[in-house]
Amino acid sequence: MDYRGSCHCGRIAFEVEGTLAGAMACNCSICQRKGALMWFVPRSSLRLLTPEADTSSYTFNKHVIQHRFCPVCGMHPYGEGTDPKGNAMAAINIRCLEDVDLASVPVTNYDGRSH
C-alpha cells in the first residue's frame, strides 16, 4: 500500500510503500521528546516528493541515524540509517502520514534509553 506524508507546512513531502502492520515508540532522549511513532521500511520504499535539500538533519550519540526535520515548521517526518545487517532503512513517523487511524496501529515500546 502507498502512503503519503509530510511535515506540517508541506516543505517536506513523501510517499512510502509498504504494509503498516505496527509502529515503535522509543524512549530515547530524542524520540521521547518528539513523540514519534516509527515505522521502519527499506530506504528504497521511501520516495521524497520534495528536494532532499529542503530537509535539515540532526545526529547525536553514535551519529548513525540522520533525524530528518523541517527547518520551517520543525516537524520530524522521518529518519535514515542502516539496520544491523547494513541495509539502508528509513524510520517513518506515522504521525506525519495522511489518512492513518493511529489507534488501529499496534505500537511496540522500545527501551532506547538503555541501549
Query: Per the structure block, which three cell numbers stand in for 74?
Result: 520543525
Which whole-number Å values give the CA distances from 82 to 19, 32, 42, 55, in the listed order?
20, 21, 9, 19
Residue 107 lies in a domain: no
What does the chain come to in residues? 115
Residue 89 lies in a domain: yes
Domain tally for the chain?
Answer: 1
Residue 69 lies in a domain: yes
Continuous H helices in the chain: 29-34
Q: Which of 67, 87, 92 is nearest to 3 (CA)?
A: 92
Residue 75 lies in a domain: yes
Which whole-number Å values give the CA distances from 9 to 13, 19, 25, 68, 76, in the listed order?
9, 26, 24, 15, 12
Residue 108 lies in a domain: no
Q: Name the amino acid, one letter, at 82.
A: T
What whole-number distance in Å separates Cα of residue 45 and Cα of residue 61?
26
Residue 45 lies in a domain: yes
Domain of 34, CATH number, reads: 2.170.150.70
Q: Which domain holds residue 89?
A: 2-99
Give one DSSP letter per residue of 28-40, joined into a string. SHHHHHHT--EEE
pLDDT at res. 114:
87
Residue 61 lies in a domain: yes
pLDDT tens profile 31-85: 899 999 999 999 999 999 999 999 999 988 877 889 999 999 999 999 999 998 9
Question: Which pLDDT band, with edges at 50, 70 and 90, does 115 fall under?
Answer: confident
Residue 30 lies in a domain: yes
